[in-house]
Amino acid sequence: MDAARRRRLAKAGWKAGTVQEFLDLSDEEAAFVEVKLALTAQLRSLRRRQHLSQEALAKRLGSSQSRVAKMEAGDASVSLDLLVRALLALGETPRSLGRMIGRAA
């Protein structure tokens, strides 16, 4: 948000802040959210680039299409283990995953 808009909102009585402040997240919690969002975005992107359906990816993982949809949506019930396993199944390497996590955090 630009400074002029922030000033206008403050003048009108509004308070602007970050998502981290709004949700009262610790630095570690905010970093975890960023990592998970980066992994879900990469999963969706990689699956689409490979022209795979969610169902096809689910078969590779021994899972269901609805679970893959939850993975791509960043659902809280999806573990990091499952996200990493899915990315590896799509051809990501441990090194590329490490770089991705490093950029997100």
> What's the whole-model pTM score?
0.78
Q: What is the mean pLDDT of residues 26-54?
A: 94
Whether 57 has a pLDDT exceeding 80, the answer reads yes
What does the domain layout of the chain look like in residue ranges? Answer: 24-104
> What local confidence, expressed as pLDDT, does residue 49 receive?
97
CATH of region 24-104, choose from 1.10.730.10, 3.20.20.70, 1.20.1250.20, 1.10.260.40: 1.10.260.40
- Tell me how far the alpha carbon of residue 10 is from its chain's centroid: 31
> What local confidence, expressed as pLDDT, does residue 78 receive?
94
Q: Any idea which of 5-14, 44-53, 57-66 has the lowest mean pLDDT?
A: 5-14
> What local confidence, expressed as pLDDT, does residue 56 receive?
96
